[in-house]
Structure 1
């Protein structure tokens, strides 16, 4: 871990200390209130739960330390993505979106944004490095892409997008701010599904938007308040708790992913292995500069859908579930959701199991 991440990890754990009075709880309390005391002509920090909650404040203080930027929390990753898009776009605008990124973002663009007069063009992630952004109002990146783990150079793309007059949004879900920092590389906004590694326990939906432009972030906050896309107090508490162990979990997850990926690459049943942390992977070019390491996601292909499903069923240490970034390793056959991948393609998310035991389970399932 570099010194900056060490500092962020330590501050996450102690960010409440300065504001504590004698006898205050060290952990933030859950405040399940929708209304707050507002006497005549009185004002308070909170008035109505759609506009603010003490739990959000604690969580957003924590996320802001991690992002080193103003942060607004949302009830899901897609709620955060929606807020960023609606804060940046208006009728007549054109947005560039990844053709190989999270498919729900594309569905939102085609089924709703286009109907509101926003044109959406789709590019493969690797095409961003050379694309012409003339006429675009917004360039939206997802790198590494989900599920293919393709990358583009955020700094270079952001510079070219800004020169063309476009804003830049980066989906940083697959990396988290500990492993990649889009705002430092020129993004106007970063979005993330905190349902994944930040929450880490498969028990909450959450997301956030972060940015350093106060005017733009005010629009993001207004979108949350006016649309009602608000996070519950219990979910805010769960995410606050999950963030306290994020750095520690990521260290194990990424180390395990590197070990598993290297062994999968040498296995005769596996083809098309993708893991940015491997020197031979085409996405490795940005590891060590833009990306701190190869992350915790692995992509690979087995012979066909049947073989892939049998592997998933046979491995005792892979949860057969969608999503990723949890304490338990998980995997799924992504073609069943309509991603443009081979029928036997598997996205594997390394968890925090002891790596040798995890590998024994994977190796045994591949042999079966």
Structure 2
């Protein structure tokens, strides 16, 4: 990690220190409140639970510290994406989405943006620059894409989008601010599902929007207040606690993924593999330039749907689950979620288990299906 990342990691758990009085609890207190005491003119104070909560403030401070930008918290990653779409777009606008990114983003556009008069197109992540961006109010990218792990040049895309007069949104869920910082490469907005690695324990849904443009922060905050897409205080408290260990968990997961990917590519049961950290991966050189780590996700293909399911279900240190980024290693055959991938395509999210023990059971399960 860079010195800047180390500095942010070191100070992350101490952000509240300067505001503590003698006898105050060091762990963040949980504020469960829908109403507040507001006699007279209470301007500048918490008013009502749909507008603000001290626990939200604390988790937004931590996320903002990592992003080095103001952040707005939401009850899920899709709620964060929805706030960007519905807070910033209007009838007549056109949006560009990744054809190989998280499918629910496209579903949102198809089922709801279209009915509000917002047009949308798709383009593969790896060739996002092809065709230019004229006419697009907003370009949404996911790099690395989920689940195929293709990458685009965020800096080049940002320059081209801005030249065309649009805004660039980057979904950074797969990388977290410790792995990639899209705002530093010119993105106008970052969205992320903190359900994943930031919380890290697979027990809460959460998301955030980050931007260095105050007008954008105002727009998504007003959308949250008016539409009521607010996070619960307890969920915010869980994410706050998870963020305190994000750097150490992320470091272990990424280091383990690099080891496991190198071994997977040589296993006879694996027909092809995508991982940005592999020197032969099509995205490797670009990943080295714009990512601080190569991530903890590995995608690979085995011979068939049956072999993929057998591998996952027969590995005692892998959970069959649809999310990623937690302390548990999980895997999923992504074709069953509607992704345009082969039947034997597996997305593996490497967790925090000791790497040699984890590889031992992965190898044994692959040997069985080879």
Normalised-by-shorter TM-score class: over 0.9
CA displacement at 1:13 relative to structure 2: 1.1
Q: Distance in 1 between matches of 2:208 and 2:45?
A: 21
Contact conserved, 2:151 with 2:287, CA < 8 A, in 1? no
Q: Deviations over 1:79-110 (max 9, x none)?
A: 00111112221100000000000000000000
Contact conserved, 2:100 with 2:146, CA < 8 A, in 1? yes
Helix, strand or coil at the partner of 2:178: coil
Q: Distance in 2 between matches of 1:179 and 1:190?
A: 13
State whether structure 2 residue 59 is matched by structure 1 residue 59.
Answer: yes
1:41 corresponds to which residue?
A: 41
Q: Distance in 2 between matches of 1:235 and 1:295?
A: 25
Contact conserved, 1:80 with 1:207, CA < 8 A, in 2? yes
CA displacement at 1:24 relative to structure 2: 0.8
> 1:214-233 maps to which residues of 2 (within 5 A)?
214-233=214-233
2:355 corresponds to which residue?
A: 355
> 1:196-207 maps to which residues of 2 (within 5 A)?
196-207=196-207
CA displacement at 1:294 relative to structure 2: 1.3
Q: Distance in 2 between matches of 1:330 and 1:252?
A: 15
2:119 corresponds to which residue?
A: 119
State whether structure 2 residue 145 is matched by structure 1 residue 153.
Answer: no
State whether structure 2 residue 259 is matched by structure 1 residue 259.
Answer: yes
Contact conserved, 2:313 with 2:320, CA < 8 A, in 1? yes
1:7 corresponds to which residue?
A: 7
2:314 corresponds to which residue?
A: 314
CA displacement at 1:130 relative to structure 2: 2.5
1:19 corresponds to which residue?
A: 19
Q: Distance in 2 between matches of 1:122 and 1:179?
A: 26
1:72 corresponds to which residue?
A: 72
Contact conserved, 1:38 with 1:44, CA < 8 A, in 2? no
State whether structure 2 residue 338 is matched by structure 1 residue 338.
Answer: yes
Q: Distance in 2 between matches of 1:67 and 1:131?
A: 30
2:162 corresponds to which residue?
A: 162
CA displacement at 1:286 relative to structure 2: 1.6
1:244 corresponds to which residue?
A: 244
Contact conserved, 1:99 with 1:123, CA < 8 A, in 2? yes
TM-score for both structures, normalised by structure 2: 0.98
Q: Deviations over 1:235-287 (max 9, x none)?
A: 10100000010010011100100111100000011011110000000111222
State whether structure 2 residue 95 is matched by structure 1 residue 95.
Answer: yes
Q: Distance in 2 between matches of 1:154 and 1:85?
A: 20
CA displacement at 1:42 relative to structure 2: 3.4
CA RMSD in angstroms, aligned pairs only: 0.8
Helix, strand or coil at the partner of 1:236: helix
**Between 124-133 and 140-149, the greater mean CA deviation after superposition:** 124-133
Helix, strand or coil at the partner of 1:336: helix
State whether structure 2 residue 142 is matched by structure 1 residue 142.
Answer: yes
Helix, strand or coil at the partner of 2:101: coil
Q: Distance in 2 between matches of 1:49 and 1:174?
A: 31
2:184 corresponds to which residue?
A: 184
